Structure 1
């Protein structure tokens, strides 16, 4: 049989059990709070990294766009330079053809050997001052 307990002792015993239960619950809440704080810090770090990566991608996209624009401008400059150099080559060919035509009309250059030298020089000059293919630039 159980002995009858004093009501004050019974109340103290229940109070002690309640305090132990409360202590365990507070300990659980403390662990829960600590875990939540860790998760919040991790989420904040993750969000900060996301923002930094987004800024990096935007900077890279702007840089790539500028590089593409610069490449297109450089290609156009190369085409313009090629066209201008072809004009210069044409003027040089015309000048040399004029000189060679004038020299060929001279009576002392009517010999076969001189005509051959003039023809060889004309062939060399046509090759040396040949136009470049500007359509292949940048392809």
Structure 2
């Protein structure tokens, strides 16, 4: 009886470090910039919409792409026509993952009776850093 092989992982490239640091830069901006400043709102808004989702999606991106797009069954094929649907779907997935992580973190803090904007950003920064720095799964080679 042989044990199943563990999924292989890749080494940490330097390209993941800006994503890992994005939450901490956002927290620094929240601390240094006035409350209603447009810069603060833009930085926090962009971070909340994109960075946690990019980090989470990065963990599973290669594992989700087990076959080239044209070799997938018809129901799993992404429309890669003139509209660039695959890129649009990826952006939508990133935003939805980011908002899901935000809702989970906010709900946990509310249930604990410790909700605040800075605590939520702190938890999201930590989760984004961990997700960005964890080894990526590779697609299974059959």
What's the TM-score bracket when you normalise by the shorter of the two chains?
under 0.3
- Higher percent of residues as helix: 1
Which structure has more RCO (C-alpha within 8 Å, separation ≥ 6)? 2
Larger Rg: 1
TM-score by length of 2: 0.23
The two structures have a TM-score, normalised by structure 1, of 0.23
